[in-house]
Amino acid sequence: MSEKVADIPIHTIGFSGADVPDPNVINTCVHCGLCLPTCPTYRMTGSELASPRGRIYLMKGVTEGRISLTDDTFVEQMGLCLNCRACEAACPSGVMYGGILEASRAQLQRVKEQGVKDEGGRMKDESLNPQSLISNPQSLKMGVIERGLRKVVFGTLFKNMAAFRTFSWTMKAYQKTGLQSLARKLGVLDKMKMTDAERMLPRISDQFTVPKGQIYKAEGERKYSVALLSGCIMSTAFAQVHEATIRVLNKNGCDVILPTGQGCCGALHVHGGDLDGGRELARRNIEAFEKQGLAQLDAIIVNAAGCGSTMKEYAHLLHDDPQWRSHAEAFVAKVRDVHEFLAGIELNRQDLKPLNIKVTYQEPCHMAHAQRLTAQPRKLLKAIPQLQLVEMFESSLCCGSAGIYNLTQPEMAADLGARKIENALATNAQVIATANPGCALQLAAELQKRGKDVQVRYIVELLAQSYGK
Ligand code: SF4
Ligand code: SF4
Ligand nearest to the CA of 44: 2
Q: What pLDDT does 423 receive?
A: 98
Give the containing element (helix H, strand E) for 388: strand 388-389
- The alpha carbon of residue 317 and the mean position of all alpha carbons in its chain are separated, in whole angstroms, by 16
Q: Which amino acid is at 354?
A: P
Beta strands in 186-344 (DSSP E): 215-216, 224-228, 254-257, 299-302, 335-337
Do residue 23 and residue 124 come from a single domain? yes
Do residue 388 and residue 451 come from a single domain? yes
- The last residue of one of the domains, among 310, 339, 368, is 339
Do residue 352 and residue 423 come from a single domain? yes
Orientation angle between helical segments 97-113 and 275-291, nearest 10 degrees: 120
Q: What pLDDT does 57 receive?
A: 96
**For residue 207, is it within any domain?**
no
**For residue 316, is it within any domain?**
yes
Distance CA 237, CA 187 (A): 25
Do residue 417 and residue 335 come from a single domain? no
Centre of ligand 2 from the C-alpha of residue 170, in Å: 35
What residues are in contact with ligand 2 under a 6 Å CB criterion?
38-41, 52, 55, 81-87, 97
**353 to each of 71, 291, 414, 417, how far by Cα in Å?**
58, 38, 37, 33
**For residue 205, is it within any domain?**
no
- The last residue of one of the domains, among 121, 142, 163, is 142
CATH code, 82: 1.10.1060
> Ligand 2 pocket check: which of 97, 394, 396 to mutate, most ligand atoms within 8 Å of Cβ?
97
What residues are in contact with ligand 1 under a 6 Å CB criterion?
29-35, 52-53, 56, 87, 90-91, 93, 95
Distance CA 367, CA 307 (A): 10
- The last residue of one of the domains, among 339, 366, 398, is 339
CATH code, 442: 3.40.50.1860
CATH code, 292: 3.40.50
Residue 119 has pLDDT above 50, yes or no: no
pTM of this prediction exceeds 0.75: yes
Distance CA 246, CA 240 (A): 10
Give me the half-sphere count of Cα atoms (radius 13 Å) on the Cβ side of residue 439. 31
Do residue 289 and residue 246 come from a single domain? yes
**For residue 362, is it within any domain?**
yes
Ligand nearest to the CA of 368: 2
**For residue 272, is it within any domain?**
yes
Do residue 220 and residue 263 come from a single domain? yes
**For residue 168, is it within any domain?**
yes
Q: What is the number of structural domains in the chain?
A: 4
Q: Report pLDDT digits (tens) over 257-316.
A: 999 999 999 999 999 889 999 999 999 999 999 998 999 999 999 999 999 999 999 999
**271 to each of 105, 106, 126, 184, how far by Cα in Å?**
8, 9, 30, 32
Centre of ligand 1 from the C-alpha of residue 88, in Å: 8
Query: Torsion angle, CA of 342/345/346/347, rounded to 10 degrees?
Result: -10
Do residue 333 and residue 364 come from a single domain? no
> Ligand 2 pocket check: which of 85, 271, 405, 412 to mutate, most ligand atoms within 8 Å of Cβ?
85
Tell me what the pLDDT averaged over the chain comes to.
Answer: 87
Centre of ligand 2 from the C-alpha of residue 41, in Å: 7
Residue 144 has pLDDT above 80, yes or no: no
Q: Report pLDDT digits (tens) over 58-79.
A: 999 999 988 888 888 999 999 9
Better-predicted residue by pLDDT, 189 or 306: 306
- Ligand 2 atom at shortest distance from the alpha carbon of 86: 7
Angle made by CA atoms 203, 206, 210, in degrees to the nearest 5: 105
**For residue 237, is it within any domain?**
yes
Name the phi and psi angles at 364, rounded to 5. -65, 140
Better-predicted residue by pLDDT, 159 or 248: 248
Do residue 114 and residue 191 come from a single domain? no
The pLDDT of 74-101, averaged and rounded, is: 96
Do residue 15 and residue 128 come from a single domain? yes
Name the phi and psi angles at 434, rounded to 5. -150, -170
Please choose, from the candidates 371, 302, 375, 308, the residue with its C-alpha nearest in 3D space to the C-alpha of residue 338.
Answer: 302
Q: Give residue 188's domain range.
A: 147-199
The pLDDT of 451-465, averaged and rounded, is: 97
**For residue 210, is it within any domain?**
no
Do residue 314 and residue 368 come from a single domain? no
Beta strands in 180-233 (DSSP E): 215-216, 224-228
Q: What pLDDT does 142 receive?
A: 53
Distance CA 434, CA 121 (A): 41
Do residue 247 and residue 350 come from a single domain? no
Pairing mode of beta strands 254-257, 215-216: antiparallel
Better-predicted residue by pLDDT, 108 or 352: 352
Non-local CB neighbours of 349 within 8 Å, separated by 6+ positions? 383
Do residue 219 and residue 323 come from a single domain? yes
Q: State what percent of residues in the chain have pLDDT above 70.
A: 84
